[in-house]
Amino acid sequence: MAGYRPSMDEPEAGPREVVVDYRFLLANERTFLAWVRTALGLIAGGVALDQFVRVEQGEGLVVAASVAIIVAGALIALIGTVRWARTDAAMRAGRPVGRTPALIVVGVLIMLMALVIAGMVIFT
């Protein structure tokens, strides 16, 4: 933020760190928590699909979809953690935050899961 000046109460930055406005650090943490909420939602959805959906034919497909959704939740938690760490390190080093294809990967992954589940609903 323009004009921001640290007070005497704020800790000094390390030898290779710049002083970062705490609001940016907190925004980065909120974004990380959004990734975690998304991951937990997918994991819970995968468990619910496995525990509560029963079909006469294609039970293996339900299990496969459940496992895929749970693995996607774990992957999203990992991506969120890596993004948080990289963004935090870039801010503290005074570097620009790098771009990543992670959001495209996550969007495509969720789209594919939705199509598989739609196919299960239609054809079973």
Hey, what are 37's tokens? 């909420």
pLDDT tens by residue, the chain, 124 residues: 455 455 545 555 556 778 999 999 999 999 999 999 999 999 999 999 999 988 788 788 889 989 999 999 999 999 999 999 999 999 999 999 988 898 898 899 889 989 988 887 888 7
Q: Which residues contact 25 (CB under 8 A, 6 or more apart)?
A: 88, 91
Domain residue spans of the chain? 22-123
